[in-house]
Amino acid sequence: MTEAEVKLLMEARGFQVTSTQVNTKGLILSFRKTISESISLRAEVYVWKEALFLEISNVIGAAIILRTDVVPVDCKAYGNIEAELIDAANVLIAHKNGKPKKQKETSAPKKEQQTIEERALEFKQMVKQAGRERGYSSEMCKAFFEYWTSSKDGKKMFFETEPRFVIKLRLDTWKRIDDERAAKRTGRTFKSFEQQKAEQQDEENKRRGTNNVNVNDLD
Protein backbone atom coordinates (compact mmCIF):
# COMPACT_ATOMS: atom_id res chain seq x y z
CA MET A 1 0.00 0.00 0.00
CA THR A 2 1.17 3.55 -0.68
CA GLU A 3 1.33 6.32 1.91
CA ALA A 4 -1.80 7.92 0.42
CA GLU A 5 -3.73 4.61 0.54
CA VAL A 6 -2.77 4.05 4.18
CA LYS A 7 -3.92 7.55 5.11
CA LEU A 8 -7.26 7.10 3.36
CA LEU A 9 -7.85 3.76 5.10
CA MET A 10 -7.00 5.11 8.56
CA GLU A 11 -9.11 8.23 8.03
CA ALA A 12 -12.03 5.96 7.14
CA ARG A 13 -11.48 4.30 10.53
CA GLY A 14 -11.72 7.67 12.27
CA PHE A 15 -8.01 8.41 12.74
CA GLN A 16 -6.08 11.58 12.07
CA VAL A 17 -2.41 11.54 11.09
CA THR A 18 -0.16 13.09 13.75
CA SER A 19 3.39 12.49 12.52
CA THR A 20 5.51 11.07 9.74
CA GLN A 21 8.92 9.48 10.29
CA VAL A 22 11.47 7.76 8.08
CA ASN A 23 13.97 5.24 9.42
CA THR A 24 16.46 2.96 7.68
CA LYS A 25 13.68 0.54 6.70
CA GLY A 26 11.07 2.98 5.47
CA LEU A 27 8.16 5.24 6.32
CA ILE A 28 6.32 5.22 9.67
CA LEU A 29 2.98 7.02 10.04
CA SER A 30 1.40 7.79 13.42
CA PHE A 31 -2.33 8.33 13.88
CA ARG A 32 -4.63 9.19 16.77
CA LYS A 33 -8.34 8.78 17.47
CA THR A 34 -10.29 9.99 20.50
CA ILE A 35 -12.66 7.36 21.82
CA SER A 36 -13.83 9.10 25.00
CA GLU A 37 -12.62 11.57 27.61
CA SER A 38 -10.56 8.79 29.17
CA ILE A 39 -9.41 6.88 26.09
CA SER A 40 -7.29 8.04 23.17
CA LEU A 41 -6.24 5.41 20.64
CA ARG A 42 -2.89 5.63 18.85
CA ALA A 43 -1.96 3.68 15.73
CA GLU A 44 1.52 3.31 14.29
CA VAL A 45 1.78 2.10 10.70
CA TYR A 46 4.91 0.63 9.14
CA VAL A 47 4.18 1.50 5.53
CA TRP A 48 6.98 -0.59 3.99
CA LYS A 49 5.55 -3.83 5.41
CA GLU A 50 1.88 -2.74 5.44
CA ALA A 51 1.48 -3.46 9.16
CA LEU A 52 0.36 -1.60 12.29
CA PHE A 53 -0.19 -1.86 16.00
CA LEU A 54 -2.69 -0.07 18.24
CA GLU A 55 -1.88 1.44 21.64
CA ILE A 56 -3.70 3.09 24.52
CA SER A 57 -1.49 4.80 27.10
CA ASN A 58 -2.22 6.66 30.34
CA VAL A 59 -5.34 4.58 30.93
CA ILE A 60 -5.15 4.85 34.74
CA GLY A 61 -1.64 6.19 35.00
CA ALA A 62 1.49 6.74 32.96
CA ALA A 63 2.77 3.24 33.74
CA ILE A 64 -0.20 1.47 32.13
CA ILE A 65 0.04 0.95 28.36
CA LEU A 66 -2.23 -1.36 26.39
CA ARG A 67 -0.88 -2.49 23.02
CA THR A 68 -1.91 -4.99 20.34
CA ASP A 69 0.31 -7.28 18.30
CA VAL A 70 1.48 -6.06 14.90
CA VAL A 71 -1.18 -6.95 12.32
CA PRO A 72 -1.72 -6.21 8.60
CA VAL A 73 -3.04 -2.71 7.91
CA ASP A 74 -6.01 -4.11 5.98
CA CYS A 75 -6.64 -6.95 8.47
CA LYS A 76 -10.24 -8.20 8.12
CA ALA A 77 -10.51 -8.58 11.90
CA TYR A 78 -9.35 -5.00 12.55
CA GLY A 79 -12.71 -3.94 14.00
CA ASN A 80 -12.62 -6.76 16.56
CA ILE A 81 -9.01 -6.01 17.50
CA GLU A 82 -9.76 -2.33 18.12
CA ALA A 83 -12.93 -3.14 20.08
CA GLU A 84 -11.13 -5.65 22.34
CA LEU A 85 -8.39 -3.11 23.13
CA ILE A 86 -10.96 -0.46 24.02
CA ASP A 87 -12.93 -2.95 26.14
CA ALA A 88 -9.75 -3.78 28.10
CA ALA A 89 -9.19 -0.08 28.76
CA ASN A 90 -12.79 0.33 29.92
CA VAL A 91 -12.37 -2.55 32.36
CA LEU A 92 -9.28 -0.91 33.89
CA ILE A 93 -11.07 2.42 34.19
CA ALA A 94 -14.10 0.77 35.82
CA HIS A 95 -11.88 -0.96 38.39
CA LYS A 96 -10.05 2.28 39.10
CA ASN A 97 -13.31 4.10 39.75
CA GLY A 98 -14.62 1.23 41.83
CA LYS A 99 -17.68 0.89 39.65
CA PRO A 100 -18.78 -2.01 37.44
CA LYS A 101 -18.76 -1.17 33.77
CA LYS A 102 -22.38 -0.58 32.82
CA GLN A 103 -21.98 -0.32 29.09
CA LYS A 104 -19.20 -0.72 26.57
CA GLU A 105 -18.19 2.56 24.98
CA THR A 106 -17.68 0.74 21.73
CA SER A 107 -17.88 -2.84 20.60
CA ALA A 108 -17.81 -4.90 17.48
CA PRO A 109 -21.27 -5.60 16.03
CA LYS A 110 -22.54 -9.05 16.98
CA LYS A 111 -24.04 -11.32 14.40
CA GLU A 112 -27.68 -11.99 15.17
CA GLN A 113 -28.45 -15.63 15.90
CA GLN A 114 -30.60 -17.27 13.24
CA THR A 115 -34.07 -18.41 14.19
CA ILE A 116 -35.05 -22.04 13.74
CA GLU A 117 -37.20 -21.01 10.76
CA GLU A 118 -34.24 -19.30 9.07
CA ARG A 119 -32.00 -22.33 9.67
CA ALA A 120 -34.67 -24.64 8.29
CA LEU A 121 -34.98 -22.53 5.13
CA GLU A 122 -31.21 -22.62 4.66
CA PHE A 123 -31.22 -26.41 5.14
CA LYS A 124 -34.07 -26.73 2.63
CA GLN A 125 -32.08 -24.94 -0.07
CA MET A 126 -29.08 -27.23 0.51
CA VAL A 127 -31.31 -30.34 0.30
CA LYS A 128 -32.85 -29.12 -2.97
CA GLN A 129 -29.43 -28.46 -4.45
CA ALA A 130 -28.05 -31.86 -3.39
CA GLY A 131 -31.21 -33.59 -4.65
CA ARG A 132 -30.85 -31.99 -8.08
CA GLU A 133 -27.21 -33.02 -8.31
CA ARG A 134 -28.10 -36.61 -7.40
CA GLY A 135 -31.17 -36.73 -9.64
CA TYR A 136 -33.53 -37.56 -6.77
CA SER A 137 -37.26 -36.79 -6.90
CA SER A 138 -38.67 -33.69 -5.23
CA GLU A 139 -41.09 -35.94 -3.28
CA MET A 140 -38.21 -37.87 -1.75
CA CYS A 141 -36.31 -34.67 -0.93
CA LYS A 142 -39.44 -33.22 0.71
CA ALA A 143 -39.86 -36.28 2.93
CA PHE A 144 -36.17 -36.14 3.81
CA PHE A 145 -36.45 -32.44 4.71
CA GLU A 146 -39.57 -32.86 6.84
CA TYR A 147 -38.03 -35.74 8.79
CA TRP A 148 -34.70 -34.07 9.56
CA THR A 149 -36.17 -30.64 10.42
CA SER A 150 -38.55 -32.03 13.03
CA SER A 151 -37.93 -30.65 16.52
CA LYS A 152 -38.91 -31.77 20.00
CA ASP A 153 -38.17 -28.54 21.85
CA GLY A 154 -38.59 -25.94 19.09
CA LYS A 155 -34.95 -24.93 19.48
CA LYS A 156 -32.91 -27.58 17.68
CA MET A 157 -33.88 -29.57 14.62
CA PHE A 158 -33.19 -33.28 14.38
CA PHE A 159 -30.28 -32.89 11.94
CA GLU A 160 -28.65 -30.34 14.27
CA THR A 161 -28.36 -32.95 17.01
CA GLU A 162 -26.19 -35.18 14.82
CA PRO A 163 -22.41 -34.86 15.40
CA ARG A 164 -21.77 -35.22 11.66
CA PHE A 165 -24.31 -34.56 8.94
CA VAL A 166 -23.34 -34.62 5.25
CA ILE A 167 -26.52 -33.97 3.25
CA LYS A 168 -25.47 -35.79 0.07
CA LEU A 169 -24.46 -38.94 1.94
CA ARG A 170 -27.64 -38.88 4.03
CA LEU A 171 -29.73 -38.50 0.87
CA ASP A 172 -27.97 -41.50 -0.68
CA THR A 173 -28.83 -43.58 2.40
CA TRP A 174 -32.43 -42.34 2.33
CA LYS A 175 -32.74 -43.33 -1.36
CA ARG A 176 -31.30 -46.79 -0.73
CA ILE A 177 -33.77 -47.41 2.11
CA ASP A 178 -36.64 -46.14 -0.07
CA ASP A 179 -35.66 -48.57 -2.83
CA GLU A 180 -35.41 -51.47 -0.40
CA ARG A 181 -38.90 -50.75 0.95
CA ALA A 182 -40.33 -50.46 -2.55
CA ALA A 183 -38.77 -53.80 -3.51
CA LYS A 184 -40.34 -55.50 -0.48
CA ARG A 185 -43.78 -54.07 -1.29
CA THR A 186 -43.66 -55.40 -4.84
CA GLY A 187 -42.11 -58.71 -3.87
CA ARG A 188 -38.91 -57.98 -5.75
CA THR A 189 -35.48 -58.55 -4.35
CA PHE A 190 -33.67 -55.28 -3.86
CA LYS A 191 -30.49 -55.04 -5.84
CA SER A 192 -27.89 -52.37 -5.45
CA PHE A 193 -26.57 -50.44 -8.42
CA GLU A 194 -23.40 -52.55 -8.38
CA GLN A 195 -25.42 -55.79 -8.39
CA GLN A 196 -27.58 -54.59 -11.28
CA LYS A 197 -24.52 -53.64 -13.27
CA ALA A 198 -22.89 -57.03 -12.65
CA GLU A 199 -26.04 -58.86 -13.79
CA GLN A 200 -26.25 -56.78 -16.95
CA GLN A 201 -22.66 -57.69 -17.72
CA ASP A 202 -23.40 -61.39 -17.18
CA GLU A 203 -26.38 -61.22 -19.54
CA GLU A 204 -24.28 -59.48 -22.15
CA ASN A 205 -21.62 -62.18 -21.87
CA LYS A 206 -24.26 -64.90 -22.26
CA ARG A 207 -25.69 -63.26 -25.39
CA ARG A 208 -22.25 -63.10 -26.91
CA GLY A 209 -21.69 -66.77 -26.08
CA THR A 210 -24.87 -67.96 -27.88
CA ASN A 211 -24.01 -65.96 -30.99
CA ASN A 212 -20.54 -67.49 -31.30
CA VAL A 213 -20.41 -70.28 -33.89
CA ASN A 214 -18.16 -73.27 -33.24
CA VAL A 215 -16.30 -73.89 -36.49
CA ASN A 216 -16.02 -77.60 -35.63
CA ASP A 217 -19.80 -77.94 -36.09
CA LEU A 218 -19.44 -77.04 -39.76
CA ASP A 219 -17.38 -80.14 -40.56
215 located within any domain: no
Looking at the domain assignment, is residue 216 inside a domain?
Answer: no
Q: Does 111 fall in a domain?
A: no
Cβ contacts of 137 within 8 Å, gap of 6 or more: 131
What are the pLDDT digits (tens) for 123-132?
999 999 999 9
pLDDT at site 215:
41
Q: Which of 97, 124, 150 is the C-terminal boundary of a domain?
A: 97
Q: Assess contact for 81 and 71: CB atoms under 8 A.
A: yes
Give the domain range for residue 31.
3-97
Q: How confident is the model at residue 59 (pLDDT cuts 50, 70, 90)?
A: low
Residue 103 lies in a domain: no
Which residues, other chains included, contact 196 with Cβ-Cβ below 8 Å and sequence gap of 6+?
A: none
Q: Is residue 72 part of a domain?
A: yes
The total domain count for the chain is 2
Q: pLDDT tens-digit profile of 11-34?
A: 888 899 999 999 888 999 999 998
Residue 102 lies in a domain: no
* pLDDT tens sequence across 94-136: 777 765 555 555 555 555 688 999 999 999 999 999 999 989 9
What is the sign of the dihedral through the CA atoms of 66, 26, 31 and 76? negative
Residue 10 lies in a domain: yes
In a domain, 110, yes or no: no
Give me the chain's average pLDDT, please. 81
Q: What is the pTM of this model?
A: 0.43
Tell whether 126 and 174 lie within a shared domain: yes
